[in-house]
Amino acid sequence: MTKTKRQSLKPRKIPQQSRAEQTVATILEAAARVLETKGMEGMNTNLVAQRAGVGVGSLYQYFPNKDALIVALSMREGAVFFTEAEGALNEPTGQKALKHLIAVSVHQQLRRPALARALDFEENRPAIANELAASKAAFREVIRQILVRKDIPPQLNMETTTDDLVAVLRAIVDAAGERGESDRGDLESRVSRALFGYLGIVDCQPEKPQRARK
């Protein structure tokens, strides 16, 4: 019985010169734009190469297939997100760090919503998820470091709490993206209430002034 050879999702080669780096960057941005307009079903390597203004042979020098493009694009977006998310650790308190993380997550989803939705769906596929496991673990580590801050109530199980926070954050933000929401402030407020409530934190909001009684 013969085994089916698994397609590689890793780049064929890493660009070493600035010109090659620019070519890869152009290909990935073309893939992003095709994904935004055509979706995964309408995306193919020929179309991406055409949009990038390169020959399909040049594309195959770096990416062996469409899934490899998706992985590289997810890693590109994830690197930007993680750099911003890691900034939460510079906040003076756990609660401010958590709000920083929420703001970054909302911005990532609403900055390019069609691209974010497409990548969210693809990243759930086991083969894609396996390639992105390390970056997902790094994000969870940021959350764990926030949870040990003194102003965050102690949690019974840190691993479970971390997983739950990620799940709640992703569910609310992804659903908002699916609905086409664009109000970042409102979405950040809703996510904050959900996460702070889960952790047992009272998120004090300024009270609205009451109308004077006649």
Do 75 and 103 lie in a common domain?
Answer: yes
Q: Return the pLDDT at 106.
A: 96
Q: Annotate 117-138 with DSSP letters as a single string.
A: HHHHHHTTSHHHHHHTHHHHHH
Do 87 and 184 lie in a common domain?
Answer: yes
Do 72 and 43 lie in a common domain?
Answer: no
- Of 12, 127, 10, nearest to 68 (Cα)? 10
Domain hosting residue 190, numbered range? 66-199
Do 39 and 71 lie in a common domain?
Answer: no
What is the rounded average pLDDT of the residues 204-209? 47
Do 37 and 56 lie in a common domain?
Answer: yes
Do 206 and 196 form a contact (C-beta atoms < 8 A)? Answer: no
| Confidence band of 53 (pLDDT split at 50, 70, 90) | very high
Confidence check: pLDDT of 200 > 80: yes
Flag whether 115 is in a domain.
yes
Alpha carbons 196 and 45: distance in angstroms, whole number: 44
Do 74 and 177 lie in a common domain?
Answer: yes
Q: Quick: pLDDT tens for 68-109.
A: 999 999 999 999 999 999 999 999 999 999 999 999 999 999
Q: Return the pLDDT at 13.
A: 57
Task: Give ∠ CA 35-36-39 in degrees, rounded to 5.
Answer: 50
Flag whether 5 is in a domain.
no
Please give the DSSP secondary-structure letter assigned to residue 148: T
CATH number for the domain including 50?
1.10.10.60
| Confidence band of 18 (pLDDT split at 50, 70, 90) | confident
Q: For the chain, what is the domain count?
A: 2
Q: Return the pLDDT at 17.
A: 66
Alpha carbons 156 and 127: distance in angstroms, whole number: 33
> How much is the mean pLDDT over the chain?
88
Do 20 and 80 lie in a common domain?
Answer: no
Alpha carbons 205 and 210: distance in angstroms, whole number: 15
Flag whether 3 is in a domain.
no
What is the rounded average pLDDT of the residues 146-169? 95
10 Å Cβ neighbour count for 36? 16
